[in-house]
């Protein structure tokens, strides 16, 4: 009988080799007791799209076959348990089974529910690590952070309707478009967010000199004003200045120094994401010492 089983396993692996696909295998158990969880659903996703799934047997074991070589996010779900997300992408190679992808699921607290989902970059669809997810209603306010694959779960919520929102550094915050219903002993899943990245800041760089002598003017005040932001700085000992932290857009740039005639740059200066606009120079005319500034 053992010989027959070994032959069957060998035949299955040979089939995988010939097909050029691989698989993922592991075990699903209870976090506290360590007992196997039967009939848990394990799903492998590529770019958030399900690519394969399997049910666990009485020993909590599963095998997902027929997966194309690549990297997969793997999750496990079982009735009465909080979904589990494997903490790192699982690599599948042609003709091989990636084993040891195990899950230890936590039981849902009695009479409470949970909200779970994922936070990704809207442009790249890449997960956003450490994004903050908030849930609140009239009675409570809770929050958590996403893991390295962008997944989150907020447990211990009393049944009711909640507002959910997400934010992350260098992204615009986003609120879920409708209230989320939480039921006792259930997880409301797929409350997902695709955050829009904020545009990278830019800057302006140049030099301020004396129009008559060409000598640099130290300590001149340079101001950049735009519709979405503004900034200012003073020139260094060589007359150079740099204004950073500006939102992309068009700016009016001007330079001032006592005993010199103020000057506005003759055209609006463009600032591009992640770039410094160079060569925005000024040649200030000295004022007659008898004239008022």
Tokens describing residue 101: 């992808």
Q: Exposed (0-12), middle (13-18) or buried (19+): which is 123, by Cβ within 10 Å?
A: exposed
- What is the reported pLDDT for 108? 83
Task: Measure CA 217 to chain center.
Answer: 45
265 to 73, 193, 235, 252, 262: CA distances (angstroms): 53, 43, 16, 7, 10
- What is the reported pLDDT for 96? 95
Contacts of 267 (CB under 8 A, 6+ apart): none
165 and 142 Cβ atoms separated by less than 8 Å: no
Contacts of 57-64 with CB under 8 Å at 24 or more apart are 59/27, 60/27, 60/28, 60/29, 60/35, 60/36, 61/25, 61/26, 61/27, 61/36, 62/25, 62/26, 62/27, 62/28, 63/23, 63/24, 63/25, 63/97, 64/23, 64/24, 64/25
- What is the reported pLDDT for 178? 96
Domains of the chain: 2-105 (2.60.40.10), 113-195 (2.60.40.1120), 202-284 (2.60.40.1120)
- What is the reported pLDDT for 19? 65
167 to 127, 130, 146, 194: CA distances (angstroms): 13, 9, 10, 10
- What is the reported pLDDT for 5? 41
Cα Rg of the chain, angstroms: 30
Q: Is the whole-model pTM more than 0.85?
A: no
Tokens describing residue 51: 């690519």
Mean pLDDT in each 10-residue stretch from start to end of the chain (293 residues)?
A: 40 53 97 94 92 96 96 94 93 96 90 93 94 91 94 93 96 96 92 93 96 96 92 97 94 97 96 94 86 41
Strand residues in 137-220 grouped as ranges (E): 141-145, 151-157, 160-167, 174-175, 180-182, 187-188, 193-195, 202-210
Tokens describing residue 41: 């659903």
């Amino acid at each position: 009988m053992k010989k027959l089983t070994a032959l069957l396993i060998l035949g299955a692996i040979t089939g995988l080799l010939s097909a050029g696909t691989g698989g993922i295998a592991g075990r699903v158990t209870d976090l506290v007791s360590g007992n196997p969880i039967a009939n848990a659903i394990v799903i492998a996703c590529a770019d958030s799209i399900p690519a394969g799934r399997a049910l666990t047997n009485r020993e909590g074991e599963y095998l997902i076959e027929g997966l194309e070589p690549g990297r997969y996010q793997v999750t496990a779900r079982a009735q009465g348990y909080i979904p589990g997300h494997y903490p790192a992408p699982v690599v599948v190679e042609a003709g091989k089974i990636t084993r040891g992808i195990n899950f230890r699921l936590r039981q849902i607290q009695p009479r409470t529910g949970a909200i779970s989902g994922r936070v990704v970059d809207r442009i790249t669809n890449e997960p956003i690590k450490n994004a903050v997810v908030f849930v609140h209603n009239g009675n409570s306010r809770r929050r958590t952070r996403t893991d390295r694959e962008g997944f989150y779960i907020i447990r211990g919520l009393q049944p009711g309707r909640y507002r959910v929102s997400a934010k992350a550094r260098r992204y615009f915050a986003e609120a879920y478009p409708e209230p989320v219903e939480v039921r006792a002993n259930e997880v409301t899943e797929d409350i997902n967010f695709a955050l829009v990245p904020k545009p990278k800041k830019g800057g302006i760089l140049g030099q301020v000199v004396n129009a008559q002598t060409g000598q640099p003017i130290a300590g001149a005040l340079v101001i950049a004003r735009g519709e979405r932001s503004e900034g200012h700085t003073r020139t260094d000992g060589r007359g150079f200045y740099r204004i950073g932290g500006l939102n992309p857009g068009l700016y009016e740039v001007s330079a001032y120094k006592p005993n010199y005639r103020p000057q506005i740059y003759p055209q609006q200066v463009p600032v591009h994401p992640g770039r410094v606009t160079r060569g925005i120079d000024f040649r200030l005319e000295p004022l007659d010492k008898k004239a008022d500034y």
